[in-house]
Chains A and B, each alone.
Chain A
Amino acid sequence: MSSLYDVTEKGVQPNPLKPTPSTKTSKEYINMFKKDFQYKVISDDPNELVCLLSNIDVSIANAIRRILLADVPTMAIETVYIDQNTSITHDEVLSHRLGLMPVLADPTEFEVGGDEDTDWNTLVFQAHCKKSNGTDHAKFSPVCTASYRMLPVIKMLDNVRGEDAEELCTLEPGVFKLIEKDGEVEAVIDDPMKCTMSRNYLMNPRLKSKIKIERSGRDFIFCIESVGQVEPKKLLKRAVQILKEKGERLVRVLEEEGN
């Protein structure tokens, strides 16, 4: 397992010289995590959160992403009783479409499962909501998407000046900026996060020898886009709580098992 990846023409390849850190005991691991873990908000909107989780293992980052997609519960319409439907939309199509609508109800105030009606809304139909998660049906997923990408790590091995500097700024927009130096323009790193990993700079042999782009396998730029029921930062918090509960559930069943 590697914590650093080289970005080459052939693709993204693990760097064996940078292995994932490990410790002899769990206590040391927790101390290491406490010391190294960092959280940084990049943008925080009511519907979309972009944040950086640093010095965390990919397995935990991926668990958080999977929980956001499939394990954080929300409310959605489950059963529809139609009294009158004279429209061109068939009952079952209408019911399905109603089911896909986000329901602005706080899922923490409801219990999972149970068939009793929790909410109803009569126009010409009654809509009965249920609390469940994305594993049951995608309509219960609280996010449009939750994804992460590895943080780009850019190294300047040599000064990039003149025409090459201007070319670099067009090849990797936003990543580098031009500054004046000794009557010449020079490219310097501005925002590595804007790097799209296009690898276009590798086409210019001079740029190829002067710049090295890597990806960190321990720093993740998360993008959590909520459907609208729950704020993305609350979703992140709930996802972490659910991961903890999963561990606790396993400890419980392990202890019940006398073996």
Chain B
Amino acid sequence: MSVNSAPVAPTPLPLSIHGTPYSSTFLIGSEDHTLGNPLRHLLVSSQTSSVSFAGYSVPHPSEHVLQLRVQMYEKGGKTSKESVVEACETLGRICEVIEETVEREHGKIVKDEE
């Protein structure tokens, strides 16, 4: 750390879940709009049969914490946590599709690292 930078306090918890299994608020540490907005979008647009509401906020810009609220239509089916996991997996698949398409377009030039 350089002399000029102020240490940012580490997030107390990487994750905590509040509420009931079918309407939960997830407090996610070390994440911000970068992950929050795509997840919110996927919860709202890709699981319309089960998710009734999804929203996110970053309560304070200097605290690296993301709040994600997920509510389900019915109790007994998929839980909020399961739908968040599903949204993360969908995001992963989308990233893979983008990566494959970019690689195909640029040929093997992009082949690096690993």
B4 smallest CB distance to A (angstroms): 8
Q: Tell whether, in the assembled complex, residue B102 and residue A250 are in contact, meaning their CB atoms are under 8 Å apart.
A: no
Kindly name the residue among A28, A29, A38, A137 whose own CB sees the greatest number of chain B CB atoms within 10 A: A29
- Given contact pairs A233-B106, A237-B102, a sample of 10 additional A-B residue pairs in the complex whose CB atoms are under 8 Å apart: A21-B45, A25-B49, A26-B46, A38-B101, A39-B98, A62-B33, A63-B35, A234-B112, A244-B91, A254-B81
Where the two chains meet, the residues of A that have a C-beta atom closer than 8 Å to any C-beta of B are 20-26, 28-30, 33-34, 37-41, 44, 53, 56-57, 59-60, 62-63, 66-67, 70-71, 78-79, 99, 106, 108, 136-137, 231, 233-234, 236-237, 240-241, 243-244, 246-248, 250-251, 253-257, 259
Q: Interface size class for chain B?
A: 35 or more
Check A250/B88 contact, CB under 8 A, given A37-B98, A60-B41, A236-B102.
yes
Q: Tell whether, in the assembled complex, residue A66 and residue B86 are in contact, meaning their CB atoms are under 8 Å apart.
A: no
Check A29/B92 contact, CB under 8 A, given A240-B99, A250-B28, A254-B81.
no
Chosen A-B contacts, 29 in total, with CB atoms closer than 8 Å, are A21-B45, A23-B48, A26-B46, A26-B86, A33-B97, A39-B101, A41-B105, A60-B94, A62-B33, A63-B37, A66-B34, A67-B34, A106-B113, A137-B2, A233-B109, A234-B112, A243-B38, A243-B95, A244-B95, A244-B96, A244-B99, A247-B35, A247-B39, A250-B88, A253-B15, A253-B28, A254-B84, A259-B21, A259-B81
Check A248/B88 contact, CB under 8 A, given A22-B46, A23-B45.
yes
On chain B, the residues within 8 Å of A63 by CB distance are 33-35, 37-38
B75 at the interface (CB under 8 A from A): no
Q: Which DSSP category, helix, strand, loop or mixed, fits chain B's interface?
A: helix
On chain B, the residues within 8 Å of A23 by CB distance are 45-46, 48
Check A241/B97 contact, CB under 8 A, given A22-B46, A29-B90.
no
Kindly name the residue among B28, B49, B84, B93 whose own CB sees the greatest number of chain A CB atoms within 10 A: B93
On chain B, the residues within 8 Å of A137 by CB distance are 2, 5
- Once bound together, how far apart are the Cα atoms of A20 and B42, in whole Å? 11
Check A237/B110 contact, CB under 8 A, given A26-B89, A137-B5, A244-B91.
yes
B92 smallest CB distance to A (angstroms): 5
On chain A, the residues within 8 Å of B105 by CB distance are 39-41
A131 smallest CB distance to B (angstroms): 13
Of the candidates B21, B41, B91, B106, the one whose C-beta lies within 8 Å of that of A247 is: B91
- Once bound together, how far apart are the Cα atoms of A243 and B48, in whole Å? 23
B26 smallest CB distance to A (angstroms): 8
Closest to A92 in B: B3
A242 smallest CB distance to B (angstroms): 9
B35 smallest CB distance to A (angstroms): 5
Closest to A108 in B: B113
B59 at the interface (CB under 8 A from A): no
Closest to A70 in B: B34
B52 at the interface (CB under 8 A from A): no
Of the candidates A20, A60, A108, the one whose C-beta lies within 8 Å of that of B38 is: A60
- Once bound together, how far apart are the Cα atoms of A255 and B42, in whole Å? 19
On chain A, the residues within 8 Å of B15 by CB distance are 250, 253-254, 256-257
On chain B, the residues within 8 Å of A79 by CB distance are 2
B63 at the interface (CB under 8 A from A): no
